């Protein structure tokens, strides 16, 4: 019974943690814009928190490089299962305009598994909200099947 309560809470009031790996911060600003009254992501019960140990969804923006890939992996590993990852913006998907730099690893999926990709440079708040909602739909599917993400 407690497990059902937790699963329903994850879907009805998911907690997200946002990690900016760097770059121009355009996607970071757009992600934080989702919290403003204009977009009001809280109407879906979504709360932005600072502790990955309590988060259900990880939103990653910016270019992953060799220095911050360990931090990204560490934040991901601290999150409890089941968890979802949303990569936002061209830099988060492929490395963007910085992809040919020698210190750039590439997209987020080169370091951790990604469930939802939100394209754009920068990703628009509406698309980011849609990406989080899509991640929640995938989370609901995992819960229904009773399995953990690989």
The whole-number pLDDT of residue 1 equals: 64
**Range name among 19-23, 74-78, 125-129 with the lowest pLDDT average:** 19-23
Contact 85, 76 (CB under 8 A): yes
Q: Is the pLDDT of residue 108 over 90?
A: yes
d(C-alpha 8, C-alpha 136), whole Å: 11
Using alpha carbons, select from 99, 22, 97 the residue that is nearest to residue 60: 22
Instruction: Tell me the domains of the chain and their CATH numbers.
Output: 17-87+98-103+122-128 (3.40.50.12280)
Would you list the DSSP string of 5-66? Answer: HHHHHHHHS-EEEEEE--TTSHHHHHHHHTTSTTT-GGGGT-EE-S-GGG-SEEEEES-EET
Helix (H, G, I), strand (E, B) or coil at 68: coil
d(C-alpha 140, C-alpha 126), whole Å: 21
The whole-number pLDDT of residue 32 equals: 87
Q: State pLDDT tens for residues 32-69.
A: 898 888 888 888 788 888 899 999 999 999 999 999 99
Q: Is the pLDDT of residue 7 over 90?
A: no
Using alpha carbons, select from 64, 71, 70, 58 the residue that is nearest to residue 95: 64
Average pLDDT over residues 96-117: 92
Q: What is the pTM of this model?
A: 0.88
**Residue % of the chain over a pLDDT of 90:** 47
Q: Is the pLDDT of residue 149 over 70?
A: no
Helix (H, G, I), strand (E, B) or coil at 77: helix
Contact 53, 12 (CB under 8 A): no
């Amino acid at each position: 019974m407690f497990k059902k309560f937790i699963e329903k809470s994850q879907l009805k009031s998911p907690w997200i943690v946002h990690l900016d790996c760097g770059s121009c911060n355009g996607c970071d600003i757009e992600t934080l814009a989702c919290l403003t009254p204009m977009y009001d992501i809280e109407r879906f019960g979504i709360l932005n928190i600072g502790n990955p140990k309590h988060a259900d969804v990880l939103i990653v923006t910016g270019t992953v490089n060799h220095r911050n890939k360990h931090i990204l992996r560490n934040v991901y590993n601290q999150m409890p299962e089941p968890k979802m990852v949303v990569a936002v913006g061209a830099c988060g998907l492929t490395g963007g305009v910085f992809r040919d730099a020698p210190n750039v690893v590439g997209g987020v999926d080169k370091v951790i598994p990604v469930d939802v990709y939100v394209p754009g440079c920068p990703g628009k708040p509406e698309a980011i909200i849609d990406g989080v909602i899509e991640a929640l739909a995938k989370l609901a599917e995992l819960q229904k099947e009773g399995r953990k993400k690989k």
